[in-house]
Amino acid sequence: MKKLYLECNMGAAGDMLTAALLELYPDREGFLKQMNSLGLPGVAVRCIPAVKCGISGSHMVVSVNGQEETEAPEHSHHEKMAGHNYESIKSLIARLPVPEEVRENASAVYQKIGEAESRVHGVPVEQIHFHEIGTLDAVADVVGCCLLFHLLGAEEITASPVHVGSGFVRCAHGLLPVPAPATARLLTGIPIYGGDIRGELCTPTGAALLRHFVSRFGPMPPMRVDKIGCGMGTKDFEAANCVRAFWSESDAYSDEIAELRCNLDDMTPEAIGFAMNRLLESGALDVFAAPVQMKKSRPSVLLTCLCRPQLQEQLTRLMLLHTTTLGIRASACSRTILKSSFQTVQTAYGSIRIKVSRGGGITKYKPEYEDVKGAAEAHGEAFDTVYKKAVAEAEKESALWPY
């Protein structure tokens, strides 16, 4: 599994994220050539070595008509680029010669920025002029970052809580508190913190990219790190101004789930079954019940629901609604699972679909019940005979199947 963890101890900006990801990508020159052939008017992109507090890394330099940016593009181009509104940027991105997924992601990132600016300024998103985040160098940062996410192909992207900095930042409207209003809105629901470092550490572009691509924010999960990329910012602080990207690639598949539990001693089996079905229909990964002994020696049922972290709140409410419990216990769990795909094998009894699960040097085959049942009935054979024949065929062909 390809896993990426972004360490945002000094915030995040589009150029920092792009540089960190580029250090992970093996064909740096190929990426830069592709970026410089996109046809962004007057834009040239290059990557240079940079050192912050003794740590070496890379810094992305974007020039527009030969002029390099010396400060965050989000706060520097009101007059020069005032004509770039939301629709013109969407149109520009839609014409870029990049994979469709990259165009969709870049457009979605700007959608998030536009909606945040719209809420902050109290005008429809169509009337927003991106005098702060709509400059061509910012477009290059967003598209470059989306392209690298696509090229790297991480299956899981997580990040640390985001350091936003402190103090004030100057923009076209005057002095604004850090985090700037649009940035603060983009980071709603994401764990953030300030500190003693004075300055804007997380830009609107950085915040929108994190919101779009990161599935979970928190401590680094257990991972075997294969590569580390360091993307350096422009400014110098007392701490190294960089985003670090940790890359892990293995054939084991791991993720995070939530485990929700409650004890029930005053519900009928029918009512418990009803609650379990409602949880499964609402997206639970698994729901199961086990007999337990509660206080006063009462026979009881321990109801457990496994779900994705993003469904925890919704399924907790359903457990409270459909059971008699007064409280739900919740735990975050890491799990390692085999990665599964479906294949079809041809047997003497017809086509049989098989779930093939792999990881950590382990391969397992599980023929689909309905296929085996139908073939056994049609040919008058025992279920176990058809099942074993399907597994044998799968084992013979497995060397030809891609992982």
Asked if the model's pLDDT at residue 342 lies above 80, the reply is yes
Both 115 and 29 in one domain: the answer is: yes
Distance CA 332, CA 257 (A): 6
Both 326 and 353 in one domain: the answer is: no
Distance CA 345, CA 203 (A): 52
The CATH number for 393's domain is 3.10.20
Of the residues 249, 274, 293, the one at which a domain ends:
249
Both 59 and 121 in one domain: the answer is: yes
What is the pLDDT at residue 403?
A: 43
CA distances (Å), origin 402, targets 138, 154, 272, 347: 39, 18, 42, 20
In sequence order, the 6+-apart residues with CB closer than 8 A to the CB of 63 are 43, 44, 69, 137
pLDDT tens for 147-187 read 999 999 998 899 999 999 999 988 766 788 999 999 999 99
Q: How confident is the model at residue 221 (pLDDT cuts 50, 70, 90)?
A: confident
Both 317 and 351 in one domain: the answer is: no
Distance CA 276, CA 59 (A): 52
Element (H or E) spanning 185, and its range?
helix 181-186
Q: How confident is the model at residue 252 (pLDDT cuts 50, 70, 90)?
A: low
Structure tokens at 324: 């008699």
Q: In what order do the strands lie in the sheet with 299-307?
A: 286-293, 299-307, 253-264, 329-337
The CATH number for 272's domain is 3.30.70.1380
Side-chain-side CA neighbours of residue 164 (13 Å): 25
What is the pLDDT at residue 358?
A: 84
What is the pLDDT at residue 251?
A: 63
Distance CA 266, CA 123 (A): 54
User: SS3 for 172?
Assistant: coil
Asked if the model's pLDDT at residue 140 lies above 60, the reply is yes
Both 181 and 71 in one domain: the answer is: yes
What is the pLDDT at residue 129?
A: 61
User: SS3 for 84?
Assistant: coil
pLDDT tens for 306-337 read 999 989 999 999 999 999 999 999 999 988 88
What is the pLDDT at residue 114?
A: 87
Element (H or E) spanning 320, and its range?
helix 312-322
Both 287 and 389 in one domain: the answer is: no
Both 192 and 212 in one domain: the answer is: yes
Of the residues 249, 271, 294, the one at which a domain ends:
249
What is the pLDDT at residue 335?
A: 85
Distance CA 107, CA 141 (A): 13
Both 244 and 271 in one domain: the answer is: no
Both 243 and 263 in one domain: the answer is: no
User: What residue numbers bound the domain in which 287 lies?
Assistant: 253-337
Both 241 and 262 in one domain: the answer is: no
Could you give phi then psi for residue 128, rounded to 5 degrees?
-75, 130
CB 357 within 8 A of CB 340: yes
Distance of CA 312 to the CA centre of its chain: 17
Both 194 and 76 in one domain: the answer is: yes
Domain count, the chain: 3
Both 88 and 138 in one domain: the answer is: yes
Distance CA 78, CA 122 (A): 18
Distance of CA 23 to the CA centre of its chain: 19
What is the pLDDT at residue 128?
A: 64
What is the pLDDT at residue 400?
A: 53
pLDDT tens for 99-135 read 999 999 999 999 999 889 888 877 777 666 654 444 7
Of the residues 290, 309, 337, the one at which a domain ends:
337
